[in-house]
């Protein structure tokens, strides 16, 4: 069985949840002897990544980074050519199921029917009504979402999500749990780390405006995604964060990380802060937890359910100051810290690759 994942912006090392989730799903399918192929319009993508074949969609002419409106226009202008190219590709690859990774970015709004192929729409976010309505009108065989948060948000927007299935995101790598002695050393001396893309909704600029002085380094890794809400928005966030970091002793601003660097970097943190104002899943939190690193985050979206006792959840109303205070309290309490570290690792096991791959296979088969 071969499953095709269609995501126009997919490329290796993109600091974005959908891109990272796609390769994690694709490689997890290999663990249970299923095949996967990724279809992307990004010309920088290689032909193979982690033994997963990558196909270039040449009929969609866009430049990255790209905003939603530009992509929507480009898809509309080439809809017939895109559909025909996908048909040929799926025949050649003997695809039995297609996962459109988002109504817009995954081309769900124009995905043509394919005899004998199961069409699945992945709603990582609810997205714009113009795209989701168009995708739903094509009557996909199944709709999947990474969390109950998406189903709730869809229902609040007037969509019937009662028959949508939850298939959570999974880990690209599954690290071993850390020794208690090493984790205690990190609690006492390790840096506080924040990892995000350059999106205003990620809340990093707000966090840096109110840094609480800690007796340890604060390291922030920020990277460009292949998409942005409006042209130039990522550069604006970068400049703001760069200026704030320069004004704040102990804060270091780092470039984005390659995917293989993420897990060890998060593993080397005393605590990871996720300052996002909205999260339909929370991959950074999951990858930190898998490395036994406690996470501090707001009570938004899927984060409370995902993190559980593997860190500290604070009210969004407490603003960034609440995140800093929670991190400081956790780092000065060895007993609570050790409990959170252990809980984080064991909570992450619910999202192990082979386990999630079997959940996905049940939906697409």
Tens of pLDDT, residue by residue over 175-191, are 888 889 999 999 999 99
How far is it, in rounded angstroms, from Cα 145 to Cα 164? 7
Residue 88: predicted pLDDT = 94
**pLDDT of the residue at 354:** 93
| Pair type for strands 251-255 and 165-166 | unpaired
Give the Cα separation of 192 and 205 in Å (integer).
16
Cα separation of 228 and 358, whole Å?
Answer: 33
Work out the average pLDDT over 118-144.
96
Query: pLDDT tens digits, residue range 142-183?
Result: 999 999 999 999 999 999 999 999 999 999 988 888 889 999
pLDDT at 200 over 90: no
CA–CA gap between residue 337 and residue 312 (Å, rounded) = 10
pLDDT of residue 230: 74
β-pairing, 48-49 vs 52-56, is antiparallel
At 61-85, the pLDDT tens digits run 999 888 899 999 999 999 999 999 9
Looking at every residue in the chain, the average pLDDT score rounds to 94
pTM across the whole model: 0.93
Rounded to the nearest 10 degrees, the angle between the axes of helix 319-331 and helix 334-348 is 110
Share of the chain above pLDDT 90, in %: 82
Which class for 53: exposed (0-12), middle (13-18), buried (19 or more C-beta within 10 A)?
middle
State yes or no: pLDDT of 213 exceeds 80.
no
Torsion of CA 316, 159, 196, 60, to 10 degrees: -160
- Give the Cα separation of 11 and 225 in Å (integer): 10
Domains and CATH numbers, the chain: 2-167 (3.40.50.2000), 180-350 (3.40.50.2000)
Question: How do the residues of the chain divide into helix, strand and coil, expressed in percent and rounded to 5?
Answer: 45, 20, 40
Residue 2's pLDDT is: 95
List, as own/partner pairs, every contact residues 149-153 make where C-beta atoms lie below 8 angstroms and the sequence separation is at least 24, other chains included.
149/279, 149/280, 149/281, 149/301, 149/302, 149/305, 150/123, 150/124, 150/125, 150/126, 150/280, 153/126, 153/280
Longest distance between any two alpha carbons in the chain, whole Å: 62
Mean pLDDT of 309-315: 98
- How many Å apart are CA 46 and CA 336, to the nearest integer? 44
pLDDT of residue 232: 78
């Amino acid at each position: 069985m071969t499953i095709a994942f269609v995501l126009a912006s997919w490329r290796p090392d993109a600091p974005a949840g959908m891109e990272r989730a796609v390769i994690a799903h694709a490689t997890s399918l290999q663990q249970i002897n299923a095949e996967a192929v990724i279809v992307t319009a990004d010309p920088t993508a290689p032909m193979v990544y982690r033994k997963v074949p990558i196909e270039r969609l040449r009929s969609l002419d866009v430049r990255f980074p790209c905003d939603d409106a530009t992509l929507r226009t480009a898809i509309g202008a080439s809809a017939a050519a895109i559909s025909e190219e996908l048909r040929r590709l799926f025949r050649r690859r003997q695809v039995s199921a297609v996962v459109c990774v988002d109504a817009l970015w995954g081309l769900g709004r124009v995905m043509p029917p394919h005899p004998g192929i199961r069409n699945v729409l992945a709603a990582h976010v609810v997205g714009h009504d113009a795209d989701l309505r168009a995708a739903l009108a094509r009557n996909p065989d199944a709709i999947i979402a990474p969390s109950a948060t998406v189903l709730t948000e869809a229902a609040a927007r007037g969509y019937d999500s009662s028959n949508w299935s939850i298939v959570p995101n999974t880990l690209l790598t599954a690290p071993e749990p850390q020794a208690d002695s090493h984790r205690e050393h990190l609690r006492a001396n390790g840096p506080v780390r924040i990892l995000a893309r350059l999106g205003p909704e990620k809340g990093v600029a707000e966090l840096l405006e109110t840094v609480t002085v800690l007796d340890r380094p604060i390291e922030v890794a920020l990277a460009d995604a292949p998409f942005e809400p409006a042209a130039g928005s990522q550069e604006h966030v970068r400049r703001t964060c760069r200026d704030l970091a320069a004004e704040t002793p102990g804060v270091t601003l780092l470039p984005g990380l390659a995917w293989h660097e993420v897990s060890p970097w998060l593993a080397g943190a005393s605590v990871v802060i996720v300052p996002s104002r909205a999260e339909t899943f929370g991959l950074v939190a999951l990858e930190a937890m898998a490395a036994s690193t406690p996470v501090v985050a707001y009570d938004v979206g899927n984060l409370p359910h995902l993190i559980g006792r593997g860190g500290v959840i604070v009210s969004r109303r407490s603003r960034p100051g609440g995140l800093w205070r929670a991190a400081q309290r956790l780092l000065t309490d060895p007993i609570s810290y050790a409990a959170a570290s252990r809980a984080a690792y064991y909570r992450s096991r619910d999202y192990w690759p082979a386990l999630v791959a079997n959940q996905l296979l049940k939906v697409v088969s």
